[in-house]
A and B are shown apart, each in its own frame.
Chain A
Amino acid sequence: MSFMKFALKNLFAHKTRTILTLGSMVVAVAVLFTLVSFNRGYEKALKTQLQGMGIHMMVVPVGCPYEAASLILKGGKIPNHLPMSVLDDVRKIPEIDIAAPSFMSGIVRPEEGRTDIYVGIDSATLRLKNWWKLEGSFPQNPDEVVIGDNVSLIELSGIGDQIYLPEKDATFNIVGKLGPTGTEDDGFFYIPIETAQRLFDQPDKLTAISIRLKNPDDAPVVTARLATVKGAEVITMGELLGTMMTLMGAAKSLLLSIVMIIIVISALGVLNTVLMSVFERTREIGVMRATGAAQSHIFGLVWLETLLLSLLGGAGGLVLAIAGSRVIENVVKRFLPLAPKGSVVALEPGSFLLVLGFVVGIAVVAGFYPALRAARAKPIEALRSE
C-alpha cells in the first residue's frame, strides 16, 4: 500500500465531512478563478477595444488631461477648452489620417437623476468611428440630431421625432440613430459641432480632437510635434488605458477583499476538517507511531491529506468555473461600467497558476497545525486515549 493510497483512504473514511469540505473548496476556487479571470479579461477586453477603435491619441486642453480624457470617453462636462485653431495645426501634420474634433457638454436633469450629454461632431467622427451602425442620416442642418441606442430607449423616441430642450429653448429633429455599440457612445446626443458650440456659448472652442494615424508606429513623432501646439496636451491611448484602470481601482479593491474573505473562509474550513480528523484519529496515529512511523511520517501523512483535499477541491472548482464562466460573465457585465464588447472572462495560464498557488497555500497553512499536533502525539499516550 502506498502512502498516497493510505492518505486517500483516510480522507474517505469520513465521506460526508470530506465531501462537504470539498464542496466549499470547489465553490471558493470557482469564485476565485472567475474573479481573477474576470479582472484580467476586463483589462484585456478594454485594451483590445480601445486599440480596435483606431483612435491612437487625443488632443485635449491643458489641465489634468488623463482625467479629462476619461471623462470624454465616459461623457461629462470639461471646464477647459481647446481653441479651434489647434485643429488647423493638427491637420497640418502629414502622419495623421483623421483628426475628428468634438465639443461635449451636458445638461443636468436633477429631477430625472441624469445628465444629458450633447456631443458636437462633424463627419470626421463618422469616418473615425467606422464601427458605428448609423440608421437614418448624419446631421446636415443645425437642428438635427443623431441619438445613441440607450437614448432612444430612455426618450422613447426614434427617427422623425422631435426633442425639445427647455433649458436652451431649442428643438431638434431626430434624423438618425446609432445601433448599440456597448460603449458610452450609446448614451449621447450627437449634433453638428457648430450647433453645440453655439448652444453652450463656447464658439470656436473644442473639447478634444481624436486622432487616427496612418501608421500607429508614428505615435512618438506625432506626439512630439503636437507637444509644440499651444494650449493643447496629447495623450495616447496607452496612457488613457492606465487612467481608466485606476478609475476601476475602487471596484478592484472590492474584488480583492472578496478574494481575501474567500481565502480565509476556505482555509478555516479545511483547517477544521483536518483538525477534526486528527483528533478523532489520535489512537490510529498512536498505532502508526507504534508500528514505526516517525514524527515526520505522521506530519507528512496529515499534510498530504490536506494537500489532496485542497487539490481535489481546486480541480473541481476550476471545472465548475470554466463551465460556468459564460453565465457569470453575463451577470457581471450587467453591473459593470464601461463594459467592453468582447469576452471579459479571460482563461489564462496565469490565472490557473494563481489559483493553484491559492490551493497549495491553503493546504500548507491549514495543514500545518493539525499535522504538527498529530506528529507530536506520544505513541503510548495516543494508543491509550479514547
Chain B
Amino acid sequence: MDRDQETKGSRDRVSDLSLGTREPLRCSTGAAEANPAVVARGLTRVYRRGAETIRALKGIDLDIQCGEFVGVVGHSGAGKTTFLNLAGLMDRPTEGRLTVLGHDVGKRGAGFDALRRKNIGFVFQEFYLMPTLTAVENVLLPTMWGRGNGEGRMSNVELKGSKHRAEELLNLVGLGQRMTHKPSELSGGEMQRVAVARALVNSPRLLLADEPTGNLDTLTRDGIFNLLLALNRDSGLTVIVATHDLSLESRFTRVIRLEDGEVKNG
C-alpha cells in the first residue's frame, strides 16, 4: 500500500516510456519463485595485490528472483560493488557458481557482451560517463553496439527512435535542460542521473545500480528511486540496488545484508 502511493507520481510518465513487451528470457514477470534472475552458490571473489589477497566475497549463497526489487546493503568495504560487478557480468568469480538470467557465468569462457548489452543495465558508483560525449550521447552509448533486442547495425529510423528514447529518459530523470552538456559541465548528481538514464536505454530485464542515489539530495533521490520502483512494478524490471542509505531499506521488496564478504540475513 505504502509503495503504491509513493510510485504514483512517476508511474504515468513511466508508462509513456515503453520498455516494450518482450517474450521472457528465462525471466518473466510472473511466477517469481520458479524464475531466478541471479543465483549464487559459494560465490567467491578474491582480489590479489602482490602477496596480499583480499577475500571481498567469501562464498555467498543467494537467489534473486525475477521481478524483485532488492537492496544490497552493508558497510563500506562489505563487498556490495564486488557482488554487483559479478552479477552484471563485468567481472568473473574466483570460485563458486553464478547464474545470471539463466546463463552460467563461469570463471572463463566467452564474453557475455550480448547478454550484458541486451538485458542488463548498470549504474556505476563512479558513473563512468564518456568525457567527450554530451549527456544525450552518453545515454545513447549502449545503443551503438547493436539493437537492444537482437543484433546488427541500426537503421536511420532506429537511430532516430533511440535518440528520441534517450531524450525521453533524460526528461524523466529531470535533465531535459541538460541534453547537450558534457559530463564536465554537469554536477555530480546530474552525472549520476545521466548514468541511470544510460542504464535504461536498452530496456534491460535486470538493472544493477551501485549507489544510484549517493550524490543526490532527498528530493531528487526519491524521484530516481520512485522511477526505479515504477519500472519494477509496471514493466517487471528486476532491480538490484547497492546502498548504505539506511532510510531506503524499507522500500525494497527484500534486503540482502552483506558484512565483510558474507551474507548476514535472517
Residue ranges of A at the interface with B (Cβ–Cβ < 8 Å): 1-3, 6, 9-10, 13, 283-284, 286-295, 297, 379-380, 383
Contact = CB atoms under 8 A, between A and B. Distances in A.
A9 B132 contact: yes
A13 B133 CA distance: 10
A212 B207 CA distance: 89
B contact residues, range:
20 to 34
Nearest to B159: A2
Nearest to B127: A287
Secondary structure class of chain A's binding surface, majority of residues: helix
B46 to A, nearest CB: 14
Nearest to B86: A380
Interface in B134-193: 137, 140-142, 144-146, 153, 159, 163
Interface string B101-130: 000000000010110111000101000111
Given A3-B144, A379-B90, A380-B85, A291 B198 contact: yes
Contacts of A295: 111, 113
15 contacts: A1-B159, A2-B159, A3-B153, A13-B132, A284-B130, A284-B132, A287-B141, A289-B113, A290-B90, A291-B117, A291-B198, A292-B146, A293-B113, A293-B145, A297-B144
B144 A6 contact: yes
Contacts of A291: 117, 122, 141-142, 145, 198
B91 interface: yes
Given A3-B153, A380-B85, A380-B91, A294 B144 contact: no
Contacts of A293: 113, 117, 144-145
Contacts of B118: 292
B30 interface: no
Nearest to B153: A3
B128 A1 contact: no
Contacts of B202: 292
A2 B141 CA distance: 10
B131 interface: yes
Contact of A292 (B116, B124, B129, B132): B116
Nearest 3 A/B pairs, CB to CB: A292-B117, A294-B113, A291-B142
Contacts of A6: 144
A298 to B, nearest CB: 9
Contact of B122 (A1, A290, A297): A290
